Amino acid sequence: METPPTICVFGAGSIGCYIGGRLAVTGAKVRLIGRPRFGEAIAKGGLRLADHLGADFWLEPGSVDYQTDPKTLADAALVLVTVKAGDTTSTAAVLAEHAPSQAIIISFQNGIANEEILRAALPGRTVLAGMVPFNVVQLAGPTFKQATQGALDIEASAAILPFLPIFEKAGLPLTQHADFRPVQWGKLLLNLNNAVSGLSGLTLREELSQRAYRQCLAMAQREALAAMKAAGIRPAKLTSLPPALVPWLLGLPDWLFLRLAGSVLEVDPAARSSMIDALDAGRRTDVDWLNGEVIRLAEKNGVPAPVNRKLVKLVHEAETGNRRRWSGPDLLAQLRSGR
């Protein structure tokens, strides 16, 4: 019998544990590589994977290959990178030292062009861009639950073809795109909510059900769309509406928003932005690779981006211990005052 390929998930936090766990449930040879605290919790309680549609899987203690030493990348055939965007450069150095030269590397990270950073540090290797469109929340157990809908997206490549059946079997089909940059910008538009949600401290359902918070997100998205237009970028349509109409929908009164976009709030009640988790844990957030990307694109093309600048500033203040849980009206007033 042919030996199954080793799939390594590097930076196995919530997203990494969920994707890797779902693959492992089907019998794929998966190794999770991440922080000791995740490994200790999984060694003690096993790993449970659930989703918003009712799926529920459990990998018992001792059955999950969770490592903390990057040397365990040595036999990887496929490496899924799920670290924060700010850790991409250091991750590239680790992969250069420990991952086999023939291993395929997929960047499943938020932000734009993380795969280019990896490619620059890993010349001659196959590095692909990827995207995780859904939210994963960590619950006690440890349990990792997919709280919103969506399928994995990936840059098209013949190199990934042998792995497609593995992801399909796990219920995580890979959708390939010949031009991946519009997909990344489309996802970034949605991820601009991370800062708003992070500053609110609320679950996604609580936050998005309040018009003032949605107006904050709409303002940030309009700036991003203006910068993209100036740069000639057309973001991919990742929701039922074209990207240009999403800010309009967000700004509607609550009763009308709920009538027209009630499915937006059909998420797990526990779903929340990963930025909240980072702030709660006292860790650096990825705001510089989300709203910060908008600022950099705007500067390059002579377009103002005061709302995104203010959001970055407020998140950085929260990172340094000056944490405040902003109400929707207060945050909206703060962003408007920065214009």
Tell me the backbone φ, ψ of residue 172, rounded to 5 degrees.
-125, 65
Q: Which of 163, 178, 193 is the last residue of a domain?
A: 178
Looking at the fold, whether 55 and 35 belong to one and the same domain comes out as: yes
Longest dimension (CA), the chain: 66
Q: pLDDT of 193-209, one tens digit each?
A: 999 999 999 999 999 99
**pLDDT the model gives residue 2:** 67
CATH number of the domain that 308 lies in?
A: 1.10.1040.10
* 80 vs 134, higher pLDDT: 80
For residue 138, give the nearest of 277, 23, 275, 267 by alpha carbon. Answer: 277
Strand duo 127-131 + 152-155: pairing: antiparallel
Average pLDDT, the chain: 93
CB of 195 within 8 A of CB of 290? yes
Average pLDDT value for residue range 299-316:
97
**pLDDT the model gives residue 1:** 41
Average pLDDT value for residue range 207-216:
96
**pLDDT the model gives residue 288:** 96
Strand duo 143-146 + 136-139: pairing: antiparallel
Looking at the fold, whether 94 and 61 belong to one and the same domain comes out as: yes
Looking at the fold, whether 79 and 215 belong to one and the same domain comes out as: no
Q: Which of 160, 178, 196 is the last residue of a domain?
A: 178
First to last CA, the chain: 64
Q: Is the dihedral of CA 285, 176, 185, 152 positive or negative?
A: negative
Q: What is d(CA 32, CA 40) in angstroms, rounded to the nearest whole number? A: 12
Q: What is d(CA 16, CA 81) in angstroms, rounded to the nearest whole number? A: 8
Average pLDDT value for residue range 214-239:
96
**Does the residue 1 lie in any domain?**
no
**Where does residue 248 rank: exposed (0-12), middle (13-18), buried (19+ CB within 10 A)?**
exposed
Looking at the fold, whether 117 and 209 belong to one and the same domain comes out as: no
Looking at the fold, whether 159 and 198 belong to one and the same domain comes out as: no
Name the DSSP class of 187.
Answer: H
**Does the residue 257 lie in any domain?**
yes
**Does the residue 229 lie in any domain?**
yes
Q: Which residues contact 325 (CB under 8 A, 6 or more apart)?
A: 199, 200, 201
Average pLDDT value for residue range 230-239:
94
Q: What is the pTM of this model?
A: 0.93
Q: pLDDT of 159-182, one tens digit each?
A: 999 999 999 999 999 999 999 999
CATH number of the domain that 159 lies in?
A: 3.40.50.720
Average pLDDT value for residue range 39-67:
92
CB of 8 within 8 A of CB of 72? yes
Looking at the fold, whether 159 and 39 belong to one and the same domain comes out as: yes
Q: Which of 178, 209, 227 is the last residue of a domain?
A: 178
Looking at the fold, whether 156 and 210 belong to one and the same domain comes out as: no
Looking at the fold, whether 169 and 223 belong to one and the same domain comes out as: no
Average pLDDT value for residue range 137-157:
90
Looking at the fold, whether 172 and 45 belong to one and the same domain comes out as: yes
Q: pLDDT of 244-287, one tens digit each?
A: 999 999 999 999 998 888 776 677 888 888 899 889 888 899 99
Looking at the fold, whether 311 and 325 belong to one and the same domain comes out as: yes
What are the C-alpha distances in Å from 216 to residues 210, 250, 334? Answer: 10, 9, 10
Looking at the fold, whether 38 and 17 belong to one and the same domain comes out as: yes
**Does the residue 95 lie in any domain?**
yes
Domain residues for the domain of 331 are 183-337
**Where does residue 227 rank: exposed (0-12), middle (13-18), buried (19+ CB within 10 A)?**
buried
Q: How many domains does the chain contain in total?
A: 2
